[in-house]
Amino acid sequence: MFGDKGALGLAEALEENVTLTSLCLRDNLIGDVGIEKMSEALARSSSLQKLYLGTNSFGTKGAINLAEALSKNTTLSVLDIGNNPVGPEGIAEIVKMLKNNDSLTELDIGCWHNKK
């Protein structure tokens, strides 16, 4: 449960890492701030193939940041963002990104919900 602070540090490490292919960050209380930095690293990643971000706490802004990153990323094939409060706008951006992404083959958006 390292939250945004942990995600910021991990994002810095990912920017330099060229060997990690799978990363599971499920249920870690990562919010929009952490996902924004993770997205920046993901946009430049040349090795990460699987990223599991289910059951965190990022919302629409985080989903939009991920969609932007995935429009630039060419290696990620599996993404799990299920059970996050991304809302309809966040889902719409993820779906729009799919039109231009040739690497993503598996996407889990199950149990998304609106922020209250």
pLDDT band at 116 (very low <50, low <70, confident <90, very high): very low
* pLDDT at 28 exceeding the cut of 90: yes
Distance CA 99, CA 96 (A): 6
Predicted TM-score of the model (pTM): 0.93
Kindly indicate the confidence band of residue 19, based on its pLDDT and cuts at 50, 70 and 90. Answer: very high
pLDDT per residue as tens digits for the range 51-87: 999 999 999 999 999 999 999 999 999 999 999 999 9
For the chain, give every domain's residue range: 3-108
> Which of 71, 17, 7 lies closest to 79 in space, CA to CA?
71
At the fourth CATH level, the homologous superfamily of domain 3-108 is: Ribonuclease Inhibitor (3.80.10.10)
Query: Is there a contact between 71 and 44 (Cβ–Cβ < 8 Å)?
Result: no
Q: What is the pLDDT of residue 5?
A: 96
> Average pLDDT for residues 23-46, to the nearest whole number?
97
